[in-house]
């Protein structure tokens, strides 16, 4: 398959995944060694030509291309704005030493399945009816991810996945092109056959709630100030520990963000990524 054929297949996959929904989609990129580039919001389907040009412009530029499998009601990639709750997705990378299922073992079978790198896949399911309640949608997406042994960070309503068939640049010396395995837009899954967790116990904290949410006014404990300047261990471990410590002591997610932003443990140098880490930590504690 030549360059043009592979691009055309990827664009057809994106169009089929987004379907007939009208709203906003996102195509972030990540260039090795540079901050996350969220890029603009593209209106779908009126902005189809801009989406196609964006994909083409970055196809062989050495960046990792992502997309939102969901369509959103506003130009803000937030879970609360997710319109397409008749789609589920999972990031089937290896997790905690477990081997994710091979494509033939994925049950229920997804409508869209693609390989991102050897042994790693991503998938989207099309449902016969929409899961209107956000908690039910999140609980179902979580249960599906858990059942398949996928990446637990892949269940969010604001999740991005790699563009099917695009290049993988984790090792810049050996770039790999992803491979489309299945694309059947007509395939639908009955939501009643899916595993579901207690949706009423699930909450999903939005990045905006972390960055712009209410502040408690509590002083930052000295323990946090010291560790955020001289971490005792790997940064991601210390970051998680400090978030938990602040939450345990009555601080809000916004407190966590402003206390840790720009510190040594803020490994991202990117407000959105730090806020996502905090949001995930809060969501895990509220289940």
Question: For every residue of the chain, which 3-state class applies, written as one string?
Answer: CCHHHHHHHHHHHHHHHHCCCCEEEECCEECCCCCCECCCEEEECCCHHHHHHHHHHHCCCCCEEEECCCCECCCCCCHHHECCCCEEEEEECCECCECCCCHHHCCCCCCEEEEEECCEEEEEEEECCCCCCHHHHHHHHHHHHHHHCCCHHHCCCCCCEECCCCEECCCCCCCEECEEEEECCCCCECHHHCCCCCHHHCCCCCHHHHHHCCCCCCCCCHHHHHHCCCCCCCHHHHHHHHHHHHHHCCCCHHHHHHHHCCCCCCCCCCHHHHHHHHHHHHHHHCC
Q: How sure is the predictor about 172, in pLDDT bands with cuts at 50, 70 and 90?
A: low
- Cβ atoms of 26 and 42 within 8 Å: the answer is yes
78-123 per-position pLDDT tens digit: 888 899 999 999 998 765 556 777 777 888 899 999 998 888 899 9
Distance CA 246, CA 263 (A): 15
Least confident span in 65-69, 134-138, 198-202, 213-217: 198-202
Percent residues over pLDDT 90 in the chain: 41
| For residues 270-280, average pLDDT | 87
Q: How confident is the model at residue 164 (pLDDT cuts 50, 70, 90)?
A: very high
pLDDT exceeds 80 at position 174? no
Q: What is the mean pLDDT of residues 50-74?
A: 93
Residue-level pLDDT at 234: 87
Residue 201 has pLDDT above 60, yes or no: no
Instruction: Take residue 104 and report the two structure tokens written for it.
Output: 């033939």
Q: How many CB atoms lie within 10 A of CB 37?
A: 14
Indicate the domain borders of the chain. 3-201, 207-285
pLDDT at position 285 is 72
Please give the pLDDT value at position 207: 81
Per-residue pLDDT tens over the stretch 1-30: 788 998 999 999 999 999 999 999 999 998
Asked if residues 86 and 129 have their Cβ atoms less than 8 Å apart, the reply is yes
Which CATH class name applies to 3-201?
alpha beta
Q: Considering the chain, what is the average pLDDT of its residues?
A: 86
Summarize the confidence of residues 134-162 as an average pLDDT.
Answer: 85
Mean of pLDDT values over 144-157: 81
Residue-level pLDDT at 257: 94
Sign of the Cα torsion 140, 142, 143, 148 reads positive
pLDDT tier for residue 46 given thresholds of 50, 70 and 90: very high
For 240-271, the pLDDT digits (tens) are: 999 999 999 989 899 999 999 999 999 887 88
| Token pair of 242 as six digits | 């400090």
């Amino acid at each position: 398959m030549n360059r043009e054929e592979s691009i055309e297949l990827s664009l057809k996959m994106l169009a089929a995944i987004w379907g007939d929904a009208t709203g906003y989609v996102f195509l972030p990129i990540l260039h090795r060694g540079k901050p996350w580039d969220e890029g603009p919001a593209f209106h779908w389907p009126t902005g189809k030509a801009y989406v196609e040009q964006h994909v083409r412009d970055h196809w062989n530029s050495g960046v990792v291309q992502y997309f939102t499998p969901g369509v959103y009601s506003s130009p803000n990639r937030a879970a609360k704005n997710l319109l397409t709750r008749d789609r589920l997705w999972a990031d089937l990378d290896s997790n905690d030493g477990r081997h994710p299922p091979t494509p033939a073992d994925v049950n229920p079978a997804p409508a869209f399945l693609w390989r991102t790198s050897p042994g790693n896949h991503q998938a989207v399911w099309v449902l016969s009816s929409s899961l209107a309640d956000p908690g039910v949608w999140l609980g179902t997406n979580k249960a599906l991810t858990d059942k398949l042994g996928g990446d637990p960070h892949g269940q969010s309503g604001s999740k991005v996945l790699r563009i099917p068939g695009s290049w993988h640049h984790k090792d810049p010396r050996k770039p790999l092109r992803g491979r489309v395995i299945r694309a059947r837009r007509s395939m639908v899954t009955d939501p009643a056959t899916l595993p579901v967790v207690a949706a009423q116990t699930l909450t999903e904290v939005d990045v905006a709630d972390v960055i712009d949410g209410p502040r408690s006014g509590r002083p930052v404990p000295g323990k946090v100030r010291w560790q955020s300047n001289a971490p005792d261990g790997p940064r991601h471990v210390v970051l998680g520990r400090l978030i938990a410590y602040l939450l345990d002591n009555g601080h809000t997610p916004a407190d966590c963000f402003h206390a840790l932003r720009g510190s040594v443990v803020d490994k991202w140098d990117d407000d959105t990524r730090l806020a996502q880490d905090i949001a995930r930590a809060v969501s895990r504690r509220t289940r």
